[in-house]
């Protein structure tokens, strides 16, 4: 008797711990759809369903089908929850758990406006996608409190990776209303409206502000790195030059003198100088030759030594 009970208890413990940890079945459903959820553990019709985090009274309203499946009708976003099922009249508390996620259009964006004199920057952040990727954003603007029609902000199709867009051609010192929303395959997020007032026209001050903005962002460490590189190069050049000078002072050899002679190009005081005698060629019918030609007393044009 005890021999058989031991393994059974062990087995049930295993099932319980498994069910409460990793064995949560996942079900996702689009908002407004009906969904039938089968109990992942008990394939019988005598099953009770609970929504976790709710009192027993609230759970009485659960719509359980004849075959024991849970039926959620036209789900709303607040139907996202963990649902668990237990066998009726069972002393052992063995639960099957199902994580139901309702997919929705994206939640509202978090929007801010940075107006300057004639343009404004709309910045936004997403707080989730609703379950499907965002397809695009749409942004529009108009004069505030005017009830005129909305003007689209180009590009009309703002790509899903964008988090900002600029509005051009605004009038200084004027309040505008901006609105923006995200779209996924289930539809539009709630629209967020934000007001922003452009600044007065103070071109010099604007310019100064922009310059200072740049200075603020500039990292002084880069200066240090640049100066370091330049100084390092100068030091290396200095050392190299010193080394060369030292070497030349130390070895004023015959080689050096020969080099000096070779450095005098094409202008040679000695008319007899030639590379090799073998290079001498006879003039052809056009009087073209490859021999030195005397231009005046001091200058001799040498043929190239190939």
Q: Give min distance, CB of 214 to ligand NAG, in A.
A: 27
Distance CA 228, CA 236 (A): 12
Of 33 and 205, the one with the shorter C-beta distance to ligand NAG is: 33
The count of other CB atoms within 10 Å of the CB of residue 158 is 21
- Nearest CA-CA partner of 116 in 207, 199, 225, 20: 199
Q: Give min distance, CB of 103 to ligand NAG, in A.
A: 9
Cα angle value 154/158/164 (rounded, 5°): 85
Name, in order, each residue with C-beta under 8 angstroms of 53's C-beta and a sequence gap of 6 or more: 81, 82
Name, in order, each residue with C-beta under 8 angstroms of 2's C-beta and a sequence gap of 6 or more: none
Q: Give min distance, CB of 229 to ligand NAG, in A.
A: 48
Q: Give min distance, CB of 168 to ligand NAG, in A.
A: 18
Of 196 and 300, the one with the shorter C-beta distance to ligand NAG is: 196
Of 88 and 257, the one with the shorter C-beta distance to ligand NAG is: 88
Q: Give min distance, CB of 93 to ligand NAG, in A.
A: 18
Binding site for ligand NAG (CB under 6 A): 24, 26, 33-34, 36, 38, 65, 67, 69, 73-74, 76, 78, 82, 99, 101, 135-136, 138, 147, 156-157, 173, 183, 200
HSE (side-chain half, CA atoms, 13 Å) at 103: 17
Of 36 and 233, the one with the shorter C-beta distance to ligand NAG is: 36
Distance CA 63, CA 35 (A): 11
- Please report where in the chains the tokens 């290396």 appear, as a residue: 236
């Amino acid at each position: 008797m005890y021999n058989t009970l031991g393994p059974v208890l062990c087995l049930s413990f295993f099932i319980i711990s498994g069910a409460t940890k990793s064995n949560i079945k996942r079900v996702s459903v689009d908002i407004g759809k009906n969904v039938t959820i089968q109990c992942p553990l008990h394939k019988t019709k005598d099953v009770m369903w609970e929504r976790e985090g709710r009192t027993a009274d609230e759970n009485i309203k659960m719509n359980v089908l004849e075959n024991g499946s849970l039926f959620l009708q036209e789900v709303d976003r607040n139907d996202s929850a963990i649902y668990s099922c237990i066998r009726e009249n069972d002393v052992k508390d063995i639960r099957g758990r199902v994580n139901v996620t309702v997919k929705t259009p994206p939640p509202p964006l978090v929007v801010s406006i940075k107006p300057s004199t004639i343009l404004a920057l709309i910045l936004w952040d997403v707080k989730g996608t609703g379950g499907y990727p965002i397809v695009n954003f749409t942004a529009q603007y108009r004069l505030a409190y005017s009830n005129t029609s909305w003007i689209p902000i180009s590009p009309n199709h703002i790509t899903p990776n964008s988090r900002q867009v600029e509005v051009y051609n605004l009038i200084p010192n004027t309040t505008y209303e901006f609105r923006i929303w995200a779209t996924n395959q289930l539809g539009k997020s709630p629209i967020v409206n934000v007001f922003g007032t452009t600044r007065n026209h103070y071109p010099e001050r604007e310019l100064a502000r922009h310059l200072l903005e740049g200075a603020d962002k500039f990292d002084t460490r880069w200066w240090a790195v640049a100066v370091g590189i330049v100084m390092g190069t100068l030091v290396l050049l200095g050392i190299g030059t010193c080394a060369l000078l030292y070497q030349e002072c130390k070895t004023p050899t015959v080689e050096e003198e020969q080099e000096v002679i070779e450095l005098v190009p094409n202008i040679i005081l000695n008319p007899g100088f030639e590379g090799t005698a073998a290079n001498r060629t006879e003039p052809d019918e056009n009087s073209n030759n490859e021999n030195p030609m005397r231009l005046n007393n001091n200058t001799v044009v040498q043929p190239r030594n190939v």
